[in-house]
Structure 1
Amino acid sequence: MQNKNYQMCTKCVMDTTDPEITFDENGVCSHCIEFDEVTSKRWYPNIEGTKKLETIYSKMKKENASKQYDCILGLSGGVDSSYLALKLYEEGIRPLVVHVDGGWNSELAVQNIENLVKYCGWDLHTIVVDWEEMKDLQLAYLKSAIANQDVPQDHAYFSSLYHFATKHGVNYVISGGNLATESIFPKSWLWSAMDADNLHAIHNAFGTKKLKNYKTIGFYELYLYYPFVKKMKTIRPLNFMPYIKSEALEELKEKVGYKEYARKHGESVFTKFYQNYWLPMKFGYDKRKPHLASLIVAGQMTRDEAQKELEKPLYDEKELKDDKEYIAKKLGVSDKEFEEILQLPSHDYSDFPNMTDKYKKMKRIQNLVSKLLGRKISNYS
């Protein structure tokens, strides 16, 4: 339920749990204003988007005509990446399909992925992250008590994808990221999962094993090597079509036999726990708010409907108990130890070494080069 002490936007459901939010004279928040004035200009759920996507696909196919694959696609089992896979198949795109198993997959996610690749007639390449190392890193993150506990999974996913793409000579990365459902998110809540400096610092402080097999992507790899040396390009096709998640889900069910998850991010047990318990309990962040706000500004939901969603409990009491026991057992700690970890004082990512200074320096150089060339430079992997 919405805390009466927080000011909520009069247009969406974002509120002052984002400390950087501001409101205009009508009570409309800075997120809505940014969407209308900036973000929406990069969103094409119309005939213009169809034409732009056709051009992108045509260029990609032409460049890779002599290769085995046109691009690389990471499949998590979620609706976004699954629907994207279906659309790529229907467009005759030949993706190198990869699933990164970080150890937290639900059985339903595995089944959904299998059904999808079978329907498309694709081979699936599964990269299994070393569980002993992942377990040690995940525990280190929990003990660090920072907000973003999904970094071990997220960093492993993207680093594995980029390393695998390079190995197979693929330079187009197809992402399910989209503005229809993810256009709004408070920057103050979470820091980048791609900060390898921060990851290693946290692991050095709280980990007990060496990360020998866990692949990371360093700052210069991310911002220089992959985009400029390897010419990697990230394409987000869902931004060029009228992507309505509820309709996409029904299409997946009908064509592929896709099974719906009980909750958002139900494909990962840990992500479900982290988003529905850890963030609200330790930091007061309810990730439903930016998600619902995104649907509102995209015209897929009304503010009243979103408020009713927020009235629902984040977790069923029994389900939470079961998930806690499952996670503790999988991480190799007792229920008591796990509860003690959950009660540790919260920290900010900036309490540990990170790449913020490098990023700021890079942005200054980027702005200088943009001025000299007279055009915006933003070619990041």
Structure 2
Amino acid sequence: DLQLAYLKASVVDIEAITDHAIFASLYRIAGEKNIRHILSGTNVQTENTLPNSWIFPKADHINIKAIHKKFGTIPLNTFPFMNAKVKRYYFGVKKLSSTSVINYVHYNKKKVKRLIQDEFGWRDYGGKHYESIWTRFYQGYILPEKFKIDKRKAHLSDLIFSGQITKHEALAEMQQPIYNETQLKEDYDFVLKKLGLSAEEFQKIMANPPVSHYAFDYEKPLDIRYPVLKPIKKIYRAIKPVKKRGETKL
């Protein structure tokens, strides 16, 4: 229901709801089990580049609720929400920390893929995050067709930046179809059945122009959401000014 609501809203970052739920659940479980450290698989060598216009803040629970309120039909009673206050609690009070361990080693995507294929029998899904049918359809069909976005540009750019491929190799990869036609047909039928849409209904949604996430309510700083707090913020900043980048405390 939430995925369908985002699709109807015509906003770009449909995957924000998945990421939001993952991190909200992760922090909650870590807090319940008194786990202090989270090992993250993110890394700057293969997934650091994404234009702001392609994504939206994953932790924005207000935006999720606003979009669902307008287009959703099922109450979000069990959806794991998280907000900035909750995140500050886990990282400030519970002393939770997250470490991207791959950033501390030389990570070569091609070598790693070969290693897990040999050691664990891993099979290449044919694209980044294509192990999920929904994500594969979103990145391989919805984004390029509706939003004119091909995420391969960002993913391949990261590999160029980290010296793992050349620009010529990236351009050659971009010439390849983003979706296998047979796979697309199977995924198309699966997604429409999952969402309870007819082909006509889906194409009508796809034909609607993109809409900014900011067209819906979103998480704003407290002093903007509640102007009465602005004087308090000024006092707080006078007592505890924001340090400039590179500035160290004497």
Q: CA deviation at 1:359?
A: 10
Q: Is the 8 A contact 2:16 2:56 kept in 1?
A: no
Deviations 1:84-116 (A, max 9, x none): xxxxxxxxxxxxxxxxxxxxxxxxxxxxxxxxx
Looking at structure 2, the residues matched to 359 and 207 of structure 1 have their Cα atoms a distance apart, in angstroms, of: 29
**Correspondence 1:342 to 2:209:** no
**Correspondence 1:171 to 2:41:** no
Looking at structure 2, the residues matched to 266 and 182 of structure 1 have their Cα atoms a distance apart, in angstroms, of: 15
Relative distance call for 1:282 and 1:317 in structure 2 (3 A) is: same
**Correspondence 1:204 to 2:69:** yes
Q: CA deviation at 1:245?
A: 1.1
Following superposition of structure 1 onto structure 2, how do residues 280-295 of structure 1 map, counting pairs within 5 Å?
280-295=144-159
Q: CA deviation at 1:213?
A: 0.7
Aligned with 1:370 (options 213, 238, 243): 243
**Correspondence 1:316 to 2:180:** yes
Query: Secondary structure at the residue paired with 1:261?
Result: coil
Relative distance call for 1:358 and 1:186 in structure 2 (3 A) is: farther
Deviations 1:296-348 (A, max 9, x none): 01000000000001111212333222211100111222232222222222101
Query: Secondary structure at the residue paired with 1:235?
Result: strand
Deviations 1:167-213 (A, max 9, x none): 11112111100011012221232111211111111111111111111
Alignment-derived partner of residue 15 in structure 2: 150
Looking at structure 2, the residues matched to 337 and 164 of structure 1 have their Cα atoms a distance apart, in angstroms, of: 39
Looking at structure 1, the residues matched to 172 and 222 of structure 2 have their Cα atoms a distance apart, in angstroms, of: 42
What number of residue pairs does the alignment pair up?
A: 237
Looking at structure 2, the residues matched to 195 and 281 of structure 1 have their Cα atoms a distance apart, in angstroms, of: 26
Q: Which gives a bigger RCO, structure 1 or 2 (Cα 8 Å, sep 6+)? A: 2
The code of the aligned residue for 1:249 comes to K
Looking at structure 1, the residues matched to 207 and 184 of structure 2 have their Cα atoms a distance apart, in angstroms, of: 16
Following superposition of structure 1 onto structure 2, how do residues 146-295 of structure 1 map, counting pairs within 5 Å?
146-222=11-87, 224-295=88-159
The code of the aligned residue for 2:165 comes to M
Following superposition of structure 1 onto structure 2, how do residues 348-363 of structure 1 map, counting pairs within 5 Å?
348-358=212-222
Alignment-derived partner of residue 123 in structure 1: none
Q: CA deviation at 1:356?
A: 4.2
Following superposition of structure 1 onto structure 2, how do residues 119-158 of structure 1 map, counting pairs within 5 Å?
136-158=1-23
Query: Secondary structure at the residue paired with 2:135?
Result: helix
Question: Percent sequence identity over matched residues?
Answer: 38
**Correspondence 1:299 to 2:172:** no
Structure 1: gaps of 5 or more residues = 1-135, 377-381
TM-score normalised according to structure 1 size: 0.58
Relative distance call for 1:277 and 1:219 in structure 2 (3 A) is: same
Alignment-derived partner of residue 54 in structure 1: none
Relative distance call for 1:309 and 1:356 in structure 2 (3 A) is: farther
Looking at structure 1, the residues matched to 36 and 202 of structure 2 have their Cα atoms a distance apart, in angstroms, of: 42
Query: Secondary structure at the residue paired with 1:174?
Result: strand
TM-score normalised according to structure 2 size: 0.87
The code of the aligned residue for 1:295 comes to L
Farther-moved stretch of structure 1 (321-330 vs 331-340): 331-340
Looking at structure 2, the residues matched to 153 and 273 of structure 1 have their Cα atoms a distance apart, in angstroms, of: 15
Aligned-residue CA RMSD in angstroms? Answer: 2.3
Looking at structure 1, the residues matched to 222 and 191 of structure 2 have their Cα atoms a distance apart, in angstroms, of: 35
Query: Secondary structure at the residue paired with 2:113?
Result: helix
Q: CA deviation at 1:146?
A: 0.5
Looking at structure 1, the residues matched to 7 and 241 of structure 2 have their Cα atoms a distance apart, in angstroms, of: 39
